[in-house]
Structure formats: C-alpha cells, structure tokens
A and B are shown apart, each in its own frame.
Chain A
C-alpha cells in the first residue's frame, strides 16, 4: 500500500478507535492511538494475512502483547475484513467476544493477552516452531514500554537470541508513558537500545508515528542474520489529538461526548491537510471507511 493510503488509513483508524471507545464507555485511548500507525503498517503493508482464512498456515503471526491497546487492533482487523465492523459496537457489552483485551474468540487474533510480559515468550515459541519446520512465515509482536519492566520479557529475550530467531520481529511502542506517569520516573528503562543490544537483538529506533519511516524500517528486517530484530518505535501516547497527546491521564480515560466531538474535528482537519498534500489522489479516498 502506498504511503498516502496508509496515512489516510491512520486518520480513519483513529476516528474509529475514539468512537468505539466512547461508544463502549471503556478502553485504553492513549496506548491505542500511539500504536495505530504501527498496526496500520503491519497489517496493510508488511504482514501476509488472509482475512477470509485467518488460520492460513503461511500467514505471518502477530501477537498483541500490550493487550490493553486492543481497540486499535480491533479497528485494524475490522478494516481488513476479519469480522464485520458492526462488531466494534459490541465492545465490552455482555456476551460479546470483543472484550477489553484480545482473545482468540475474535477472528484474526492469535493469542489471548492482557497480562503483560506474556506475548514475547509465545512469539518465541511460534518462531521456533516455524524454524524447526523450515517454514518461511514470520512472527511479529508489539510490546508496550511500561511492559518492559516485567521480568518475563527479559527471559524471553534471552531465549530469542539464544535460538537465533531472525524470523522474529519485536516492536516496542516507546511512548514513554505508563499509567502512573513517565516510564523513566516509575522504573527507568534507558538506555533501552543498549540493553536490548546486550541481550542479543539487532536494534533500530524509528519514529513510530511516521508510516513512511515504519515502512522503511520493516523493509530492512531482519536487521542481522541470526538475530531477532528489535524496533524501538518512538511514539506519542494519544497521537493525533492535541489534548490527548502525551498525557498520562488519558491511559484509559474515555472521551466524553464533547471531547469526542473535539477529537473528531481535529481528525477532520488532519484529513483536510492530507487532501491538500495528496491532491491528485484525494477522490479515491475521501469516502468514509465505514468503520464506525
């Protein structure tokens, strides 16, 4: 998918994320908006998946280890056609499978997550199985930066390097905030690049809210033969809406009707700017995606 199209999708995904969280009355607004561009690029440009056949054996695997940001994943999977977009309106409703953290009851989701520090180990197991069987698909997983204080992340990292899993791509959504405040104030993570390098990853840092930069960095994976790839995606929590950006209190704050209206108005402006920038292809994409 072209950069212009990806950028357009990110705007529409952010609309749907905010609208579905407001509709559900619950959700993780900040972290979903910070990883929107990463999921967009993964599902629309990088990974091989087949929404009509979610269990296709040659698909690339994706594990959403930062499970609380499930709204972003639901929106992207709905847009890909894994399930009808109408399901987004059942989020958190009694009896719905579209609950506040991912489960395999939802088509397209590989693994139940939500407790932090679990996804990377499962991804290591999947990547190891692919290697044992000589299969070519890859395994991707997205971790939150707050999640990195879980010791199991470092257990899993040791094994990823030990087994030389260059079919594994780990992305950290480095938005520098967790529920209490700055990661560096809660429990410092830096120097993160050096720490991951010491644990055996080939590490790159990228602007995780720049789809062009993400497309470019994913194209370079694996970064080194025989090493798992680590992408530190520097993002802004709440990206795309001025009053939500970089604010710890928006970790799981739900937009009020007024806040939603103001947020969507900002995204309207973002779409206008997008149209000006890509005037020649505007007509193709100016319609709503119908996600929400």
Chain B
C-alpha cells in the first residue's frame, strides 16, 4: 500500500473554501464568538469585513443571532468551538435553529479531543449524542480535505439546519479529487469482505491505516467514511453488515450516543448481527494528553484497531 499523503487541517479547508465562495456571494456570512483564530477566519475577517459578524464570547447569542440572520435569507455559518457551541448554545440550537427550521450552518471547530491537553472543558464528546436527539438538524463530519471542501460546497444550498464538525490537525488525503460526495451517502475508502471499519471524522484515516495493516496479514478490511450521521446511510451500512463477519465503529466521541450507537441500533432492529465493537472515548474521566495521545490510550491507532478487528474475527471463528 502506498502511504497516505498529508494534507492540511480540515478547518483550514473550510475557511479557504468559504472565503472563496463568500467573495462571489455577499449573502454568505460568518458569525463568530471570538473564535477567528481557531476557526482560521482571520483572513476572512480582513478580506470581507462586512460579511463577518463578531458576537464575542457568547455562544447563546451567537446561535440566536445566526437564526435571525438566516430567517432573513442570509446564508449563515455560525463558527465556534464545538465544545461550547453545542453545550452553551444547545437550547438555541434546539429552539431557534432546529425547531424554528432556520437553515443555519453550525460549524463546530476543534471538535472531539482536538484541543487535547487543554482538558475536558474543551472536549466535545457529547455533541453527536445531543444533536442526534434533536429533530431537524443534519450532521456532517468530514474525514479529509476533499470531504471538507465538498461538505462546505453542499452546505451553501442545504435546505435544513446543519452541523459541520471539524478538527484542527492536518489530515491525510483519502479520496481521489474526482470522488463522489453526497450528504447522507457513506463513502467507501477501502473494499474488503472480512471486517469493516465504519468510522467518522478524523478517525477515518486511522481506520484506513488499520485496514491496510490487515490486508498485509491476509484479512480483507472495508472502510466506510460515515461523514453524515444524519441523514444516516442505512442501506450502505446494512449492505456491508450483511457481507462481513465483524464491524468496528470508530469515532472521536463518547461511545454513547454517537456513530457506534447509531450503527448498533440499526443492526439490531434490522436483525443483522455481525460481531460489533464500538471504539470511541469510554465512560470515564478522559485520559490527559494530546489528541494523538488520547487516541493511543483508547486504542484508536492503526495497530490498535487492527488488533480489535482480529480479536472480533477470532471470536467469531471460536463461536462457529
């Protein structure tokens, strides 16, 4: 396998793409909560000062104002660290955006454990759980630069409220530039018939590296980038679940209420039951360290995921 090529942070792709689009369309606005630095929006603010609305550190007002701007037909990207946006601003997301059906694009930056050693105040391991429990908000978590750019392009005309979850570390390229990207359709990154990694966001590239390790050991490993949690691509997940022996879900989120829970719910209710392991951040006081150190602690590494997959396959064989 050719090693993956390193790109740039998805947050940078987001801001570059948005600046390019906003230069051509005055209706595109960014609303931000003193978060231009982490949002990589300094250039946007300098080049398009009339299209950026600074709210200060006030996430409730950030979301409410964004809803009001969207009500008047503005194409609004509300950008704030995911940890604060989806906790401090949650009731505004629920009522002013989702319930009131305002197509605001909520952009949660430095999501998951991107902020690493800053500690749990700055982690968002709850956002997918709470947003999945709120009706009328689509959830997109791009894996690489390609998916991020495609998601921003799609978000512009997306008719419903949307949550875009982004991280801050440079990401490896997973897709060809001419790949397909549709909100609500899972993207296959690797094809294999023994085990499948269903991963989302910044963990997809780790799942791909795990799959490549498994192939070297003679195990066929599929990788789907579940870049959209809602609407959830049930047909794609069911198709792969019927084909493989074991599924490992991987996410930078609590093991409760995120991708793994969504997959388990679907498979149990459909009566499709391959061996399943949900890999994410467990229900404990989160380990301290950088994003990569936290990932390593919880087995979210190429070798860790490969070992998890092999153990699942071995268990399946023992049971058979």
**Interface membership of B95, Cβ < 8 A:** yes
> Interface size for chain B: under 10, 10 to 19, 20 to 34, or 35 or more residues?
20 to 34
Contact of B96 (CB < 8 Å), options: A121, A128, A132, A159 = A121
- Residues of chain A with a CB closer than 8 A to B71's CB: 110-111, 122, 125-126, 129
Residues 44-84 of B contacting A (Cβ, < 8 Å):
50, 53, 55-56, 58, 60-61, 63-74
- Residues of chain A with a CB closer than 8 A to B91's CB: 115, 118
Instruction: Give bound CA distance, A123 to B66, whole Å.
Output: 10
Instruction: Give bound CA distance, A250 to B61, whole Å.
Output: 32
- Residues of chain B with a CB closer than 8 A to A226's CB: none
Contact of A125 (CB < 8 Å), options: B60, B68, B99 = B68
Q: Which of A120, A121, A124 has the most CB atoms of chain B within a 10 A radius of its CB? A: A121
- Residues of chain B with a CB closer than 8 A to A94's CB: none
Residues 126-150 of A contacting B (Cβ, < 8 Å):
126-130, 132-133
**Interface membership of A156, Cβ < 8 A:** yes
A159, B68: Cβ atoms closer than 8 Å: no
B101, A115: Cβ atoms closer than 8 Å: no
Majority SS at the chain A contact face = helix
**Interface membership of B182, Cβ < 8 A:** no
- The total of interchain contacts (Cβ-Cβ below 8 angstroms) comes to 93
Contact with A along B8-47 (1 / 0, CB 8 A): 0000000000000000000000000000000000000000
Contact of A128 (CB < 8 Å), options: B58, B60, B68, B95 = B68
B66, A125: Cβ atoms closer than 8 Å: yes
- Residues of chain A with a CB closer than 8 A to B135's CB: none
Contact of A129 (CB < 8 Å), options: B64, B73, B101 = B73
Interface size for A (C-beta < 8 A) is 29
**Interface membership of A10, Cβ < 8 A:** no
- Residues of chain A with a CB closer than 8 A to B124's CB: none
- Chain B's closest residue to A124 (CB) is B65
A125, B73: Cβ atoms closer than 8 Å: no
- Residues of chain B with a CB closer than 8 A to A159's CB: 55-56, 58, 61, 65
Contact of B95 (CB < 8 Å), options: A113, A120, A125, A132 = A113
Contact with B along A241-281 (1 / 0, CB 8 A): 00000000000000000000000000000000000000000
- Residues of chain A with a CB closer than 8 A to B56's CB: 155, 158-159
With both chains docked as a complex, state the minimum distance between the C-beta of B295 and any C-beta of chain A, in angstroms.
35
B64, A128: Cβ atoms closer than 8 Å: no
**Interface membership of A191, Cβ < 8 A:** no
B50, A122: Cβ atoms closer than 8 Å: no
Residues 60-87 of A contacting B (Cβ, < 8 Å):
none
Instruction: Give bound CA distance, A118 to B66, whole Å.
Output: 12
B53, A128: Cβ atoms closer than 8 Å: yes
**Interface membership of B110, Cβ < 8 A:** no
**Interface membership of A152, Cβ < 8 A:** yes
Contact of A126 (CB < 8 Å), options: B61, B68, B92, B99 = B68
- Residues of chain A with a CB closer than 8 A to B288's CB: none
B58, A122: Cβ atoms closer than 8 Å: no
Instruction: Give bound CA distance, A266 to B304, whole Å.
Output: 77
Instruction: Give bound CA distance, A3 to B14, whole Å.
Output: 56
- Residues of chain B with a CB closer than 8 A to A152's CB: 58, 60-61, 64, 92
4 A-B pairs with least C-beta separation: A125-B68, A121-B64, A129-B72, A155-B61
Interface residues of A, Cβ cutoff 8 Å to B: 103-104, 110-115, 117-118, 120-130, 132-133, 151-152, 155-156, 158-159
Q: Beyond the given A120-B64, A122-B67, A129-B74, could you list 11 further A-B residue pairs with CB under 8 A, ordered by the A residue number?
A: A111-B67, A112-B95, A121-B64, A124-B61, A124-B65, A126-B72, A128-B53, A128-B65, A132-B74, A155-B60, A159-B65
Interface residues of B, Cβ cutoff 8 Å to A: 50, 53, 55-56, 58, 60-61, 63-74, 91-92, 95-96, 99-101
- CB<8 Å pairs between A and B, sample of 26: A112-B96, A112-B100, A114-B95, A118-B64, A118-B95, A121-B61, A121-B64, A121-B65, A121-B68, A121-B92, A121-B96, A122-B71, A125-B64, A125-B67, A125-B69, A129-B69, A129-B71, A129-B74, A130-B72, A133-B72, A152-B60, A152-B92, A156-B61, A158-B56, A159-B58, A159-B65
